Amino acid sequence: MEEYLNRHLRHGPLHLTLIDPDRQDPKEAALMAKAAADAGSHAIMVGGSTPERARIVDKTCKLIKKESGLPVILFPGGASQVSTHADAIWWMSLLNSRSRDFLVGEQVKGAPTVKKLDLETLPMGYLVVEPGGTVGRVGQVDLIKRDDEATAIAYALTAQYFGMRFVYLEAGSGADRPVPPKLIRAVKGAIDIPLIVGGGLKTAAQAHEAIEAGADIIVTGTLVEGVTDVRKTLGDYLFQLSESLRREVRRTLVEGDPETPRRPEQADDEDAEAHA
């Protein structure tokens, strides 16, 4: 999985779709994932900040993989959310939490299961920025202030020096304000590992700003929740973000080629120009 992400990152930013298994039944989740795959999303993240029942997580992952063909990365809110049907798990520590549970406790509980299932771990430092939403509250977070670049950089460097291979700046799912581009730029300038940004990226303009500021991977969840035509909504959104994502959309929506995993390196310049 990490190899898949890094290979795609060489061609431009990635988009991941977050699906919370608690918000719909597994069949509906699978249809959303299929539409996200058609629209050009690179992988599906499954998880949420409230403790889902393990069976629902498992069934959701299984159907998503079967229906969409996209890789599934677990985004666990706790140790119970581990599934044998996922390709990998964000092995994350909520670094600005005040709770030992979210720093290391849940991870200690879940590690033996991860070993047993032979799940690939993607070590990630998870940092919650104002407003923070549910994850800020549930995760007992000392929120990073939106204008406090020094603190954000210090946390991001801490993640990198610990050997974590991704940093995630999270404003909270459904946030009314996403992570400010200035904060993204500051963090990106300080670290050498891929930067994930999510929370409140409701418009393509906001996501574009995040990418321009240095986000390597953007995550959206709320954008496709309760939407009737996920394929079109997400396709239109991704088409506006970057040339490499435009190529993904072109391959899927225009060519009708939902085959995965995606290979943006195979899309030639002519394709991109034709739809610029």
71, 46 Cβ separation under 8 angstroms: no
DSSP-derived secondary structure letter, 119 = P
Residue 1 or 175 having the CB closest to ligand 1GP: 175
Q: Which residues contact 205 (CB under 8 A, 6 or more apart)?
A: 240
Tokens 């409230």 belong to which residue? 50
Cα 101 from Cα 268, distance rounded (Å): 47
> Tokens at residue 42, please?
């690179």
Indicate the residue whose CB is closest to ligand 1GP.
198
Cα 230 from Cα 217, distance rounded (Å): 20
Rounded alpha-carbon distances, angstroms, from residue 45 to 198, 205, 259, 275: 12, 22, 19, 28
Smallest distance from ligand 1GP to CB 78, Å: 14
Binding residues among 161-190 for ligand 1GP as defined by CB under 6 A: 170, 173-175
Residue 5 or 267 having the CB closest to ligand 1GP: 5
Residue 110 or 200 having the CB closest to ligand 1GP: 200
Residue 26 or 139 having the CB closest to ligand 1GP: 139
Binding track over 18-37 against ligand 1GP, x by CB under 6 A: x-------------------
What percentage of the chain's residues is helix, strand, coil (to nearest 5)?
45, 15, 35
Residue 220 or 267 having the CB closest to ligand 1GP: 220
Give the dihedral of Cα atoms 116, 117, 119, 123; nearest 10 deg.
Answer: -40
Binding track over 221-240 against ligand 1GP, x by CB under 6 A: xxx-----------------
Smallest distance from ligand 1GP to CB 141, Å: 13
Residue 81 touching ligand 1GP (CB under 6 A)? no
Smallest distance from ligand 1GP to CB 159, Å: 17
Q: Which of 38, 46, 94 is nearest to 233 (CA)?
A: 38
Contact pick of 194, 198, 235, 258 for ligand 1GP (by CB under 6 A):
198
Residue 48 φ/ψ, nearest 5 degrees: -170, 175
Q: Which of 117, 172, 102 is nearest to 144 (CA)?
A: 172
Binding residues among 203-222 for ligand 1GP as defined by CB under 6 A: 219-222
Q: What residues make contact with ligand 1GP under the rule CB under 6 A?
A: 18, 170, 173-175, 198-201, 219-223
